Amino acid sequence: MENIDWIIVTVYFFVLGCIAWWSSRKQHDTKDYFLAGRHAAWFVVGASLFASNIGSEHIVGLAGNGATSGMAMAHYELHAWIMVLLAWVFVPFYYKSGVFTMPEFLERRFDARSRWTLSIVSLIAYVFTKVSVTVYAGALVFMTLLPDTFGTPDNAFWVGAITTVILTGIYTISGGLRAVLYTEVLQAFVLVIGSFFITFIGLDMLGGWDELKSILGANKEQFKLWRPIVQEGIPWWKNSDFPWLGIMIASPVVGIWYWCTDQYIVQRTLAANSLKDARRGALWGGFLKIWPVFIFLIPGLIGYALHQKGLMSIPLKAEGIDGDQVFPTMVSNLLPVGLRGLVVAGLLSALMSSLASLFNSCATLFTLDIYSKLKPNKSEKHYVGVGRIATSIVVVCGLIWIPIMKAMAGGGIYKYLQQVQGYLAPPITAVFLLGLFWKKTNSTGAFVGLISGFILGVLKLLVEAVVSFNEIQIGTLRNIADFNFLYYSGILFLISVIIMIVVSIITGSKDKPETNGLSYDTLTEADKAEIRASWNHWDILGTIVILGLVLAIYIYFSFWI
């Protein structure tokens, strides 16, 4: 990093600070702080959905998985089709209900027990995944770009982690969701531009697309999109090479949880100016979601090819290339002065974007779904203050988890992220799908299914943490830890669905008048007419374009090498 690079980064943060300051002047109540006053246009909603999703863990982690596992993780990045589900299936219920949070929606559909359970599970999930992974990925960038600035690379890692958390916390705590939304529009733009230059310059240095395909083709099995279910000499349930059946089972389960039920994401659509803006924002976000394969995953493939040709040296570890070092190494080695500063600003913007979204979502969940129930009738100012304190506690817990996460993330931080989400998502996906599409799902069935699924998921996660941290090589714990996370995710989803259905049937369906309109078979004619009036041919055309692009990408990369 040279002086001009630091100037560019400084100017970027100055602009970011101005936006946050402007936003902080508009905080009057919880509706302003947690949902930006419900005034966001579709373009802002979509850009915020994209920027919230694509954090530093995506840039660093996806590039790393591209270099070590090829296109295996592309399935998770082609979830634009699930954002179409968000737009057409889920958003109408969420927006019409007028809720602030997803747990609040569950309370209206079922009861307070489901609300409490989902709130607590979501906060725990944020500690295990979003906080720790996002901060870890951003700190890796500091460790690679500024290895000696703070004495040692490890010092740079922790200085980077703590500094970015504090800076992001300041502007998020002061500005609320409005600050998050409007800074994310800027961050999404910087992010895409910076990553495009990495792809373009790296591909040019390599010698073009055909050269990339030629190098990857020499080791086709490592880089192809679809992997066999059985590997030679390895039981199917131990196959960790992303078997296609496991991907097809787990990817939709995690995707529906993340894009259609997670407070972190759905909160953006709830901030929309209208139901039409909420739907179009989700579709616009779906269109943007298509491109990470090209601007984040492909650079990892390029980094591997440059390393193979001796044009760039990526740090190694026992298993081969250290995937999490690929993108930072490309930034420090390939980019010229000035452009390097822009890309670093993009990396920091990605980190801060994800953390900012997370901070506000944590504050919203804890304040509105837990604290306000324990301490009702407090002032709006009091609740906003409590949300800020809750955010700080979640972040500290995430920092404490980072050393354990580093031990578990041997296959790369992006794989770790999908792994943990695969354990926590299934019961939540099950309860929302059954809640919307089967009106006989009752409050007891939902509660028992959520609790059972959560316990089974956390047990698997804790076993893996114990095995990884203590380097256990044999025994029952090792076998449980080695059971493929993709298959476990599918089994956990099935168990959760069965429990919810069986318990609901045994305890009997107790329909309440307030649940009307919160599932598809209880919609009134007036509800249907209102939903129908919120879309036209442009929404249909956008949907066709998104689904067509997803299909085209799948077809091309199924046969490209």
Of 77-86, 197-206, 387-396, 504-513, give the lowest mean pLDDT range: 504-513
- Asked whether 172 and 360 are in contact (CB, 8 A), the reply is yes
> Residue type for 21, please?
W
Task: Identify the pLDDT of residue 1.
Answer: 66
Q: Check: CB of residue 336 under 8 Å from CB of residue 170.
A: no
Note whether 442 and 510 are within 8 A (CB): yes
Q: Residue 67 above 80 pLDDT?
A: yes
Q: Is the pLDDT of residue 445 over 90?
A: yes
pLDDT of residue 495: 97
For 313-329, what is the mean pLDDT? 81
* Residue 241: its H or E element: none
Only one residue has tokens 């009036």, namely 533
Residues 181, 287, 131, 432, CA torsion sign = positive
CA distance 294 to 278: 27
- Reduced to 3 states (helix: H, G, I; strand: E, B; else coil), residue 325 is helix
Q: Is residue 70 helix, strand or coil? A: coil
Which of 132-136, 280-284, 441-445 shows the lowest mean pLDDT across its residues? Answer: 132-136
Cα distances (angstroms) measured from residue 468 to each of 92, 408, 471, 481, 484: 43, 6, 5, 9, 15
Q: Distance between CA atoms of 474 and 133, rounded to whole angstroms?
A: 28
Asked whether the predicted pLDDT for residue 204 surpasses 50, the reply is yes
Structure tokens at 348: 């920091």
Indicate if the pLDDT at residue 8 is higher than 90: no
Could you give the CA distance from residue 309 to residue 327 in angstroms, rounded to a whole number? Answer: 17
- Confidence (pLDDT) at 285: 92
Q: 243: helix, coil or strand?
A: strand
What does the block give as tokens for 361?
A: 């979502």
**pLDDT of the residue at 350:** 65
- Higher-pLDDT residue of 428 and 389 is 428
Token code pair at residue 159:
């200085």
Rounded to 5 degrees, φ, ψ at 512 are -115, 150
3-state secondary structure of 261: helix
Please report which helix (H) or strand (E) contains residue 521, including its range: none
Rg (alpha carbons) of the chain, rounded to whole number: 23
CA–CA separation, 64 vs 314, rounded Å?
11
- Range with the largest mean pLDDT of 160-164, 192-196, 216-220, 499-503: 499-503
* Token pair belonging to 384: 């906003």
Q: Cα separation of 32 and 326, whole Å?
A: 40
Token representation of residue 5:
């690079």
- Overall average pLDDT of the 475-493 stretch: 90
- Least trusted range by pLDDT, from 46-50, 252-256, 365-369, 555-559: 365-369
For 243-270, how does the pLDDT look when each residue is reduced to its tens digit (9 = 90+)? 999 999 999 999 999 999 987 788 778 8
Classify burial at 445, counting beta carbons within 10 Å of its beta carbon; exposed 0-12, middle 13-18, buried 19 or more: buried
User: What are residue 227's phi and psi, to 5 degrees?
Assistant: -110, 150
Cα 104 from Cα 288, distance rounded (Å): 29
Residue 27 main-chain phi, psi, to 5 deg: -95, 110
Q: Indicate whether 453 pLDDT > 90.
A: yes
Q: Is residue 389 within 8 Å of residue 370, measured between CB atoms?
A: no
pLDDT digits (tens, 9 = 90+) for 18-39: 766 666 555 544 444 444 445 6
Model pLDDT, residue 209: 92
Q: What is the mean pLDDT of residues 51-78?
A: 82
Structure tokens at 246: 């496991």
Q: What pLDDT score does 367 carry? A: 80
In the block, residue with structure tokens 């490209």: 560
pLDDT at residue number 305: 92
Q: Is the pLDDT of residue 431 over 70?
A: yes
- Model confidence at 52: pLDDT above 80: no
Structure tokens at 242: 């992303």
Q: How many CB atoms lie within 10 A of CB 25?
A: 10
* Closest among 241, 240, 252 to 494, alpha carbons compared: 252
pLDDT in the model for residue 182? 64
CA-closest candidate to residue 57, choices 355, 381, 312? 355
Report, as an integer, the average pLDDT of 190-212.
85
The pLDDT of 379-400, averaged and rounded, is: 76
Least confident range of 154-163, 328-337, 371-380, 497-506: 154-163
> What's the whole-number average pLDDT of the chain?
81
Give the pLDDT of residue 503.
94
Q: What is the DSSP letter of 486?
A: H
What single-letter amino acid sits at 47? A
Greater confidence (7 vs 391) lies with 7
Whether residue 169 is predicted with pLDDT greater than 70 in this model: the reply is no
Torsion, Cα 319 321 323 325, to 10 degrees, reads 130
**Tokens found for residue 299:** 């650079």
State the Cα–Cα distance between residues 247 and 476, nearest whole angstrom: 25
Between CA 348 and CA 358, with CA 354 as vertex, the angle to 5 degrees is 140
Q: Categorize the per-residue pLDDT at 492 as very low, low, confident or very high, splitting at 50, 70 and 90.
A: very high
Handedness of CA 168, 173, 174, 175 (dihedral sign): positive
Return d(Cα 387, Cα 403) in angstroms, integer: 27
Length of the chain: 561
Cβ contact 256:83 at 8 Å? no
Element (H, E) at 316: strand 316-317
Q: What is the pLDDT of residue 330?
A: 87
Tokens read off for 269? 């659509």
Contacts (Cβ under 8 Å, ≥6 apart) of 510 = 442, 443
* Domain spanning 3-408: CATH superfamily: Sodium/glucose cotransporter (1.20.1730.10)
Which amino acid, one-letter code, is at 508? G
Name every residue whose Cβ is closer than 8 Å to that of residue 4 and which is 6 or more positions away in sequence. 337, 338, 341
Instruction: Write the CA distances from 218 to 221, 230, 285, 290, integer angstroms.
Output: 9, 21, 36, 27
